[in-house]
Chain A
């Protein structure tokens, strides 16, 4: 069984977590065309490779982001949602 590293609680067995889907930005509902919107709602990228995903630690109610390769199931890193965005801004 997989072990996931919760940014708050450390390594825990994956059964304590709920998968929250790939991190995808919602298009502006007012600006998006119907086609763009339905593509966002209904289509997912199933090809294997590195993804940023939402994961939720059930016991503590912690949402966080995991960078996981869906081909190898290796988790590169995990962090809270805001942190990485801040990093990206700070490091350009």
Chain B
């Protein structure tokens, strides 16, 4: 191989290597030599558990930063979070330490907070919430298992019981069965008889089960009930319609109920009626006197009697008197 070929191969190899370095750089770092400047938030917790530097910070499950460092601050621990400056964190957002897997990985989970809430400034403290970790959960589950075991023990004791006090539930049930075997047999025999009768079609229940006519009648009755219910529905619908019309002030009743002018007129009429009735009661006016004054009644009776007698006289004198009256009147 001559020197030129060797140089060309080395050059090609080198350029290919540089190209691959560039591809790797673009793929892994998105073409950024330096990490964009991030802003920090402080998250205080009672216990950081296994959270460590470099663990992820996720906003609604999306990686937006990492834990820059962890430190003690008085009586609690703090995690300094590096957040992508392009991602605003709401002022009322809450940070919790969450588990990313069962092998001990943790991350800081931040929720979205309230829409429109002002974003936290660089170096601000974010609200935190302590959630139970795996150890606490396992401890709780252990306690739960213990309680379950105790409950099962109690249940088992109730089932088995103490032989001195007559045994447990099962033993007592066995005793009840043994003591009442005859009654139970009689009850079973009665039940057998009843079912036999039903099968034969005896009695109401038997006919209902076995007689197709009764079945048809029952169906007809049900149909009638359905029709009645339909009519009742229509009636209710009509009544509802009437009520709607009344409510909307339509018709006489609607006007009466909802028209203020009509109401005022009715009130005035009632007041007038009251005034008239008061006057009648007091004996004022002609009608009042007519009702209350006995003298007027007596006078009227006398007058009526007189008129009666006059009419009787007229009847007796007959048409002559009538002609005479007419003649007198004419001449």
Are A and B interaction partners? no
